Amino acid sequence: MAELHDLSALDLWRALQAGDTSPTEVTEHALDRAERLNAHLGAFVTVTADAARQRAADVESGRARTGRLWGLPLADKDLVNRAGVATGFGSRAFHGVVAAASDELVDVLDAAGAISIGKTATPEFGLAGYTEPLATGPVRNPWDATRGVGGSSGGAAAAVAARILPFAPGSDGGGSIRIPAAACGLVGIKPSRGLIPSASGVTSLGGLSVGGALARTVADSALLLDAMIGRENGRIPHHYALRAPDDDDGDLLGAAVRGEGRFQLGILTNTPFDDELDIVIDPAATAAVSEAASRYTDMGHGIEEFALEHDGRYGERFRALWHASAASLPVDGVQLTQLEPLTRHLVERGRAMSARELTAVLGALSEFERSVIRQFSRFDAVLTPTLALSPRPLGWFDADDPERNFRQQCEYEPFTSFVNVAGLPAITLPVGQTPDGLPMGVQLIGRPGEEATLFALGAQLERRIRWQSRAPG
């Protein structure tokens, strides 16, 4: 058998089911790789070795092996509470604060049989699209240690790309799964608003932030997303009232494994930021989209270029919502002085915003959401670059000038945040590479609730490009 860390999550699960390996052996292997690689990468802020070993023993001794993630290792993003483990939120203000109770998503993953080996790094409160927090230090890209990993699920992306973990959960409020997945050569899935009951986005301001998955293959991302949904008897629990009780939501892993269907695809030729910022698309990003479009054409899919119609004010409204989202952070008094300049700026601007201003912003973005869904409705999926630029050098984002920092982030990732505003599902696929060998991804944006289409399209492209065989040197 291949080295455990070279196996896909699905193949590792099969090996566990067959008894070719054990949860304890798999966990020890992941812990060993974390110990050897993390000092250089900074992917983990905490490795809970003793707790992971005890959990593996408990999983191994249990009678049921039917859990979707039975015996598979992963890690919690450091924005998620796990009882008895420190949750730092990437901030000096919460250093060493131990969670008294677990968040619901942790319970769902545990119920699926997963084994957490620790906490993955995130920017302060997950508010940035790069992961270089002062509290724990920058996360280095396994493909090039001088480059960053994107954010905010940057530690998760680094851990998966370095093959410490087979996959990892993340969260995405403006691209926070897709950005680091693209920067690290991974598949990253941001589901529709409301799909995952324990990380639905429904309760977040503007409905932006949802849970999702990062993995090396399309099937692995579907495997983890299925587990995160927490289905009961094959269906989303109806007591969450997110879908009708008689809806059979199917199995996303099945769609990813089969990879069937012919679809109509749109290629987006602009971004919502074009009227406000000087958006420059790296030739490698354009080449990746062209490669994907060519492959899909050869497979018989329809392709049509189109431009998104908008009023040119998306950027200012999203920035206002970004400010407002920081207003409710649990920091006051002396804690404010412990925040990084960018976070403190966001908190102060958000708390200075009036209810009237916020209501106007939310109303305008709601109109924008409906417009995007309407314009995208004639396509089964819409193709864009995931990132406009290649993975950025460490220190590239201006940490001391919040306004310039916002512009830099939007210029780096102009295709991601509007998908959150629209509540749509999106997947990033590691199609291309720059001349220097850095990953370059493409994004497919789906219709509401049509994750299965994205997994089918991703699987079809994966079979032809075989990106899963690529690994950092």
Long-range contacts of 11-14 (CB under 8 A, 24+ apart): 12/72, 12/166, 13/69, 13/70, 13/71, 13/72, 13/223
How far, in Å, CA of 27 to CA of 40, rounded?
A: 21
3-state secondary structure of 373: helix
End-to-end Cα separation, the chain, in angstroms? 22
Distances (CA, A) of 434 to 98, 284, 378, 399: 42, 5, 32, 26
Which residues are designated catalytic? 77, 152, 176
Amino acid at site 384? T
Distances (CA, A) of 115 to 87, 121, 422: 18, 18, 33
What residues contact 199, with CB distance under 8 A and at least 6 apart?
105, 171, 209, 210, 211, 228
Look up residue 71 and give its DSSP letter: T
How far, in Å, CA of 286 to CA of 276, rounded?
A: 21
b/e 143-162 (16+ beta carbons within 10 angstroms → b): bbeebbbbbbbbbbbbbbbb
